[in-house]
Amino acid sequence: MRVKNLILILGVIVAYLGIIGYVRMSNDRTIEKRYYQVWREDYIKNQSESEQYVNAAGKNKPPFALSEAQGYGMLLAVKAGQKHLGSQTDFQKLDNYYLRHRLSNSNLMSWRQENKKGSLQDNPVSASDGDMMIAQALLEADKVWPGHGYKAQALKLISDIKKLESNRSAKIITVGNWANKKSHFYNVMRTSDVMPQAFEEFYQATGDHSWIEIKSQMLTYLQQLSSQYKTGLVPDFTWISKQKQASPAKANDVATKDDGNYSANACRVPMLLAASNDKEANNIVKKMLRFFKQKEEISSGFTLSGKPLYPYESASFSAPIFVAASKYQNEGYGTLVEHEKYIFSRPLPANNYYDATLIVLAALNTNELTGLEK
């Protein structure tokens, strides 16, 4: 009798856990679907019947497109496809837009398309972060929807990234094809171009070991930057010397007054490093998370010594931290996960493409959404 009762109790427990697991999965799926659908409604625009692009301007402003935005859109479309929240048609329309807006005699995408005289016109240079994300998305799409030629496209793009967007002496990805040997910016590295998972995938797809060398060297530069401050924070941009030493850029060296701060580019670094299981990448991101864990509020940027740049929070900073902390939450970062969940408690911004996109990317890349209001 006792054995039968024990079996019955165990059966009830198993059934209960199964129901809880199903409810959690169902809740997560509902939130993911809602965020992805709202994001598409707000930011995806039709260029033609067969082409779509991510409108980086948001609503009620003259639209423009970025290769970075297109890369994010293609990554989101693939992730949605994996979760049965989106279709191959969604991805193909974004891919068609990329194909049409490649630079002349190249597989790199024009970094920006602006509305001039009623049509989107290409800027004649590239941005490496957009190109790398597009290549990643194409490789992943080939696994989700095989037989559409996505890997062949990716291989051509990866080849051009190495040929036209890399500094082979410093072993870095440059900020774009315009930052070539003749440019003052040939030795500039954008810290958010340190994408260890992407480099690993490029190596697996091509068999070209130089991608592993690039990954290793760029992580070394990031480690050099991380070690310079107790915070572990890294700047948006860094200069690489002939001696292969990384030093933070100064204000307005490359793009903005925050070039040497943890700002709008570097904010993506925690998410990018956490995507890989590389030991050095993990060590770098955990040092950053230890700093963030001590803060009552994650402001929209910091100096490398940890002083807040602006007196408000921003989802483009919190979302990547949420993703990274979620990976390591069993190592003492659970409170940081809970703290940064606030990004899902507000309506998705309709006029801030960057914040909105990183929120949806976080939603589709973690399993920590249970308990949020629908």
CA 53/CA 130 separation, integer angstroms:
13
Residue 235 contacts residue 225 (beta carbons within 8 Å) = yes
Distance CA 314, CA 322 (A): 12
Reported as type and span, the H/E element at residue 153 is helix 150-164
Residue 368 burial class via C-beta count within 10 angstroms: exposed 0-12, middle 13-18, buried 19 and up: buried
Query: Which two structure tokens, joined as six digits, stand for 2?
Result: 């006792």
C-alpha torsion sign, points 16, 17, 22, 26: positive
CB atoms closer than 10 angstroms to residue 112: 22
DSSP 3-state of 194: coil
**CA neighbours closer than 13 Å in the CB half-sphere of residue 106:** 20
DSSP state letters, 221-255 = HHHHHHTTSTT----SEEEE-TTS-EEEPPTTSSS
Instruction: Calculate the alpha carbon distances from 154 to 67, 134, 193 in Å.
Output: 15, 8, 18
Supply the residues annotated as catalytic: 129
CB-CB contact of 313 with 298 (8 Å): yes
CA dist., res. 22 & res. 370, Å (int): 11
Within 8 A by CB and 6+ apart from 30, the residues are 374
Map tokens 């509020």 to a residue.
297
Q: Tell me the C-alpha distance between 188 and 235, whole Å.
A: 12
